Amino acid sequence: MTLIRMSMFVVVFIVLVADSGNGFTVGPPPLPSVCKTMSPQHHDYKAQTGESPFTVSIDRKETAGGQSVFVNLATTDPETKYIGFYVQARDENDNPVGVFTPNTDTKVHNCFGKRSNAAHHATGLVKKSNTTIIWTAPRNFQGEIVLTGTMMRDFVTYWVFLQSEPLIVTAADGLEEVVGNTLPLSGSGSSGSSSRPTPRPRPSLNATLFTLIDNIGSIFRFRLTNSSSGTGIGRRCDTDRVFNQWFCNLFSNPNAVGG
pLDDT at residue number 169: 98
Angstrom distance (rounded) from CA 109 to CA 102: 10
Write down all domains in the chain, each with its CATH number in brackets. Answer: 26-172 (2.60.40.4060), 205-249 (no CATH)
pLDDT at residue number 1: 53
pLDDT at residue number 233: 52
Q: Which three-class secondary structure state does DSSP give residue 4?
A: helix
The C-alpha angle with vertex 38 and arms to 44 and 167, in degrees rounded to 5, equals 150
pLDDT at residue number 199: 44
Q: Which residues of the chain have pLDDT under 70?
A: 1-31, 42-43, 174-259
Q: Among positive and negative, which fits the CA dihedral 14, 17, 20, 21?
A: negative
DSSP state of 128: B
Task: List the one residue out of 30, 29, 32 whose CA is nearest residue 40.
Answer: 29
pLDDT at residue number 148: 98
Contact residues for 167 (Cβ-Cβ < 8 A; gap 6+): 58, 60, 61, 62, 63, 69, 89, 144, 145, 146, 147
